[in-house]
Amino acid sequence: MSANKTSENKRDYEVGRGKPPVHTRFKKGQSGNPRGPRPKNLPALLVDALNEKVVVTIDGERREITKREAVVTQMVNESTRANLRATKMLIDMLKDAEKKAGVTAPPEPAPFTAADEAVMATFIARLRQSWEEELRQKGTEDAGSLPE
């Protein structure tokens, strides 16, 4: 023990890995962190809680997913069951996610031009003509298959 004390008091004490200078070492009974760990803020607590894993059964198969995934899955499932509150919350979440991702809303469609109107009119006329021909063919086939 006396040899250990003399090495600490010597000026030629070797400082290096695992051997800090004597004056910077913790004193006996002194904690390295006297104030304790810093308390976490609410966002950090929320992120930690949402990243925890849970075991769920999906289609008869047990899977381990995060609580975050479970919440989103449950919200989507509820909105597909026509739960209007869940649907509104889901749409709001999507809008926020798109806003944070920098996705812009789709632009308003341009109004039809005169050329577009002409193309649509031609298309509708062809459809009508095709339907009328099909109806005439069915009418002649039905008339031929009537019992006498």
Tens of pLDDT, residue by residue over 30-46, are 777 778 888 889 988 99
Higher pLDDT, 16 or 90: 90
Tens of pLDDT, residue by residue over 68-115, are 999 999 999 999 998 999 999 999 998 888 888 886 667 788 888 899
Tens of pLDDT, residue by residue over 61-71, are 999 999 999 99
Residues in the chain: 148
In this structure, what token pair is assigned to residue 117? 């109107």
pLDDT band at 51 (very low <50, low <70, confident <90, very high): very high
* Nearest Cα to Cα of residue 22 among 39, 36, 10: 10
Q: Of 22-31, 123-132, 133-142, which range is least confident?
A: 22-31
Sign of CA dihedral 105, 103, 53, 36: negative
